[in-house]
Structures are given as C-alpha cells and as structure tokens.
Structure 1
C-alpha cells in the first residue's frame, strides 16, 4: 500500500479507539480527523455540521461518495488492550474507528493520484450512526448534491479477515422500536383482587408478542421482535399500578413491517382490556431497510475479487444501518468486510483484526476509481446511442 503506511492507519485507529465519543458529541474525533486530513492536503468542505467532516478529491463532473461512521457506544470496554478506551463507559464497540481509518487511507491514496482521477470522490466521515440521525443530517446539509453513487462498509466479526460479502436488494433490516405502557390499578400484595396487576398484564402481552412472529407470520420471512427492557414497581408491599416495557423489531419487508405494527398494537390493547387495564402502544420507526442497487453490488464484488478478497454473497442482516437513508436518495452498495473478532458487535470484548484496515483502504480507493470510470463510460455510451 503506497502513500500512507499500514502502521499509520493502525495508529490513527488506535488513537480514535482510545478517545471514543457518543453520537452527536464527536467533537474531538472530528478535530482529529480534520487535522489528519488537512496535513495530507485535504480540506474539509463547508457544510453546516456540528460534528463530522466531509472532504473531496479530484476534478470533473462525475462524482461518487464514500462513507465512514465515527461515533461510539455507551458500553464499558473489557478488552484490556493497551489502547483501550480512556472514556469510562464509552467504547468503539462497533468498529467505527476501524471504518474511519479505512476511509482515511482511501482518501490519502486517492489524493496521491488526484490528477489522474476521472472525476471526484467525496468522502463522508459521518457522525451519529448509532442513533440513526447522522445520515439524515448530512443529507439535509447537502452532501449528496450531484453524487451519482455511494459506497460504504461495515466490519463483520463473524467473517474471517480477507473475506468480503454483499448482496443486491435488501441487506440490513428495518430497525424499529416500540414502547408499551400498561395502566392497571395498584393494590396491597395481600389483597390483589382490589387492583389490576400491571406486571401480570405486561407479562401476558410480552408472551403474546413473542409468539406473534412464530405463529402469525411466514417462518421464511426475516423477522425478529425482542423485548429489551421492562420497568414496574419499586418493591415493597404493593402491586404497581403501571408498568412499561420496550423493545425492537427487525424486518426486511415493508408489508411485513406494517402488518406487524398493526398486529402488535391489537394484541397490546386487547390483552390489556381483557384484564381490566388499559395500554398504549407507541411505534418509533428507525432506519429503513437498506437496499443495495443490484448492479453496484455486483460491481463492488467484482472489484473485491480483483484486489484479492474471498468474495461471498452476504446473508440477510438483521442489524439496522442508517446508510439506508443514502440509498433511498441515490444508488450504491454497502458491503461487509471480515474482522474476525471473538466477540460480536456491541460487546465490551469486541476486538476486530486490524489487518483488515490497509487492504480495505486499498479496496475503496480502487472501487472509487473504477466506479468513476464506469460512470464515464456509461455516459459516453448514452451519448453515442
């Protein structure tokens, strides 16, 4: 790899890893990225962003974009690494520090051959992916103006280093959240008949929701519903009058998504009513299903083979990813690159193989160059025809 050493990219990744920042608060992360980019002769574009940075390489009308995310998670790090997080309770447990290092490497490689580029490459270092607000903020700021295709990555701890996977069409899932509030009637524990036990009602609703996905939908549909928290009462000698729980739903089909919301709402309200309680069901849409453009997914895989990756067709992924918002606006492809971590994403022991960084940087540099060439050729063919 030329123009920036593998060790430099690893050092940058480790510095980002040591000083993680949560979604929307990536102030020092942004400052570091800006400094490293400016030292390489890349000057941030003037977008109204509080955090995050965007640079551009090349000249001409043909324009594609590359995207990295930069935020961390509210997770305590348990790796014991020398460069572990210095911010207590905050960790790059999803590998966004790795993604940033990869796109730094790609940006510097492209800068080194800027005069030979057949167009422009806009590189987005996006904040706030974890709370699914960052991509929309960048879109509102205008970063997709004139962009003809966009590409991004996520490291995949379940894949070996040197392995690449993507797929056309639906890839990552709709990632929605829901909250249920049950209102019963408080009563002494010795006289439960005087009240309506909100914990009992909430438990019945949870059981019914969990069986909804296995008994009311086709087992071949990709669908997960999980209750992830519950709060009720404060102990002592009283049955609580209210309870609240929430969770997440992951789907890949818009019709399944809409039907599940409707069925869940009916279950919540009917079970509560049957027990003499009331309940509210609130649905909070998250990132939509990430849908790769089939042609760009194939193109991205072909370039991956050329640079030496072992290429696979990715399975459907039930994680959410706000890169989906970009793909609602313009075509492109999101890809997985193996990071071979013993522990998975969002785990305190997550530790991706840093050997993925330099090859991935080279890959995205090549992908950008070839995508520009492809778009130029397509434009010439259209003119000739």
Structure 2
C-alpha cells in the first residue's frame, strides 16, 4: 500500500506546478536582502503577492510584518501559519548568480525561502478554500534574527483569535524532501548578557599603580563556565558564550574599562529562570576580587521552544500522509533559538525542520548563518505543500 495519501499526491503535484514561481520569488528576495527592522521592500513585495490572491492583507504589523486572512467556506477556528523574512549581517560568499547585491547583508538563514514557501501555501489554500471550516492567518514576520519580531507581532494583534500556530525552518544538513520533528523542547532559550568592568587605567609597565579590568574580564570569562559545569545537572543542558571582549587600544596601556557581551542558552524554563542570579553572583564577586567594579545586564530574549503534543501529533500525521513515513526523522535538540517560541507560550502549536540540503548527501552542506550557505530549492514546493496540508487537515476536521 502506498504510504502517501492520494490527496497528498495531488497537493504535492499542485505545489510542484508552483515551483518555478516560488524559486523566482525566493531568488529575488535573496538578491535584495534586508536586515531585521528594515524589511521595507520585502514587506511590500509580500503584500503585493497576497493582495493578488484576494486575501485580507494588513501591513505594518509589529514593524514591517504582514498578515493575511483566508476565510473558508464554513465556520471554524483560526489556524496561523508563520514565516520570517529578515536577513543577516553576513557577507555572502556563494558566488551564485542571484547572490546578494547588498554588501554585508545576506539571507544566510533561508528566510527568503521561508517567505516563498508561505506564499506558496497561501496560493494552494486559496485554491482550496471551499474545503476549509474556519480561517487561515498567514503571518510574515520581521525581525526574527534579533528576537524582536514575534513579540511585536503579538503586541499588534497578530495572534488575536488564533487557535493554533504552525511553522517550519529549513535545515541544510537534512536532505530536501525530508522533515524532522521532536516532542517537547526542540530549540533552546536565548538571552543576552552585557558586562561592564571598571578598573583604573595606567602605564602597562607599572601595573601595581593600576587596577586591570582586562585581567578581571579574563577571569570572569573563565569562571562563567562554572555556572554550567558546576552548578547545573549534567542532564540540564546550558551554554554560556562570551562573544566579544572590548578593552584598550594600545599595547602598553592598561585601560580603564572593559566590556563583554555574550549569549546564554538553556533547554528548560526552570534553568533559564535561574541563570541571571548565577551569573550576577559570579560576575560581581570575581570583579570585586580583582578590585574592579562591574555591572551585569541580563536581557531575556526568547524562551525554550516547546512543541505542544497534540499539535505535534497532527503535524506528524499530516506529513506521513503527504510525504510518507520514511521521509520523517526525529530531530536532534539544538541550542539555537527561534522566536517562534514566543507564539507557543500563548497558543498551542508546532515548529518542525524542513530538509533543504542535497538529496544525495554527496555534496557539502554549509550550515545556517554561514557565508556560503545555500539551500536545495526543491524544498520550496515540499514546504508549501507541508504547510498547506497542516491547515487543510486541521480545518477540514474542525477539531483545532
């Protein structure tokens, strides 16, 4: 017996017919990427496409976000489907003919593909609106890379009346045509730390007359790791990474100040909530031990991304009927963050990985955020069909 449902075959075939237009739209966005909080042209292009489908379109949602509403033929719940649109401050090195024309800006995380995929899903669902008992709300979100977009969209009403929300993220280490799902926590929380250390500057040849903030900063960098290795269970994953240390300008001068910035990732809400106290204690006391003054700013950004069980079951069932059970694998947990988690704190939903890598596995795949990141564009039609199938089955059943 063919594991792929007949309706799934038809939906995939319809998506394949859209493939050329999805590729063209994605490449247009890829060549003209826009950074978080500056997605003006991208937003305009998306709104034009949605208006052409006859949907109720709203622009300027939480900044440059766009929403569109598709009403079915009968009453029912509202299912939201979400894609992010922003690019990264990365200089592209792919050499592609449609590579970024904007220096220092690149779609190195595939949000151009996510946008094209959701537009494809909107087209597929618009053609099948008579099968929908309820509505589909398409969320095109800005500013995901700076962990600000989801909060802004929610504050501007994007989730009002929504029963469930679904989304995907491409994964270049998974072959195109496959998806990966995971129960419970899928992605880590994301918080930012900023540490200012003040000492007493002076000549590098007479350190006894100075208070060296660089030495204090170095001790703090090393000691912060003990917040994980000696204060958390080995079965409670967490990461503390200092990504920048800025101090001084001359080789023979002890500076007056040093500044560190970093990121904190956890995989459980209770671990995340305890990290500010742990880091504050270490930073302040180590700085004091080195005769320095310190200030720690702990900035919560996004929670752990935890899929809801019922929604995960629905996604897996829909994907098995669409693609076949052999195309679905279990996702490995990752400390990378996604502000889709903010939506999941408010309504049930599920995020899953969409394979965007080489189908044979023979080619080298560069990871997300790499300057040579590319994706297999065969994933566009698959992703569009996947999101459409999730909404179709959920609203056809009227059980959301």
Question: Scaled by the length of structure 1, what TM-score is found?
Answer: 0.94
Deviations 1:55-86 (CA, angstroms, capped at 9, x unpaired): 11123332101000001111111100000011
- For residue 330 of structure 1, the aligned residue among 347, 351, 365 is 347
Once the two structures are overlaid, the 10-residue window that deviates more, 283-292 or 260-269, is: 260-269
Q: CA RMSD in A?
A: 1.6
- For residue 178 of structure 2, the aligned residue among 149, 155, 163 is 163
SS at match of 2:176: coil
Tell me the residue number matched to 1:287.
Answer: 302
Once the two structures are overlaid, the 10-residue window that deviates more, 45-54 or 148-157, is: 45-54
- For residue 392 of structure 2, the aligned residue among 366, 369, 372 is 369
* Cα contact 2:188–2:267 (8 A) shared by 1: yes
Tell me the residue number matched to 2:381.
Answer: 358
* Cα contact 2:76–2:395 (8 A) shared by 1: no
* Cα contact 1:73–1:93 (8 A) shared by 2: yes
CA distance in structure 2 between the partners assigned to 1:241 and 1:377 by the alignment: 63
Tell me the residue number matched to 1:296.
Answer: 311
Give ranges in structure 2 of 5+ residues lacking alignment. Answer: 1-12, 359-364
SS at match of 1:61: strand
How far is 1:377 from its partner?
4.4
- For residue 188 of structure 2, the aligned residue among 173, 190, 210 is 173
> Where in structure 2 are the equivalents of 1:65-80 lying within 5 Å?
65-80=80-95
Structure 2 residue 331 is matched with structure 1 residue 314: yes
* Cα contact 2:71–2:129 (8 A) shared by 1: yes
When you count strand as a share of all residues, which structure comes out higher? 2
Deviations 1:224-277 (CA, angstroms, capped at 9, x unpaired): 111100100011431112111110010011222233321211111111111111
> Where in structure 2 are the equivalents of 1:111-122 lying within 5 Å?
111-122=126-137
Q: 1:99 to 1:46 in 2, by over 3 A?
A: closer
SS at match of 1:119: strand
* Cα contact 1:58–1:115 (8 A) shared by 2: no
Deviations 1:321-340 (CA, angstroms, capped at 9, x unpaired): 11111111110101111112
Question: Would you say how many aligned residue pairs link Structure 1 and Structure 2?
Answer: 377
* Cα contact 1:288–1:325 (8 A) shared by 2: yes
Deviations 1:72-109 (CA, angstroms, capped at 9, x unpaired): 11111110000001111111011100101111110000
Tell me the residue number matched to 1:2.
Answer: 14
Structure 2 residue 51 is matched with structure 1 residue 38: yes
> Where in structure 2 are the equivalents of 1:223-262 lying within 5 Å?
223-262=238-277
4+ runs deviating over 3 angstroms = 45-50
How far is 1:49 from its partner?
4.8
Question: Scaled by the length of structure 2, what TM-score is found?
Answer: 0.91
- For residue 264 of structure 1, the aligned residue among 254, 270, 279 is 279
Deviations 1:106-137 (CA, angstroms, capped at 9, x unpaired): 00000111123222111111111111111111
How far is 1:52 from its partner?
2.1
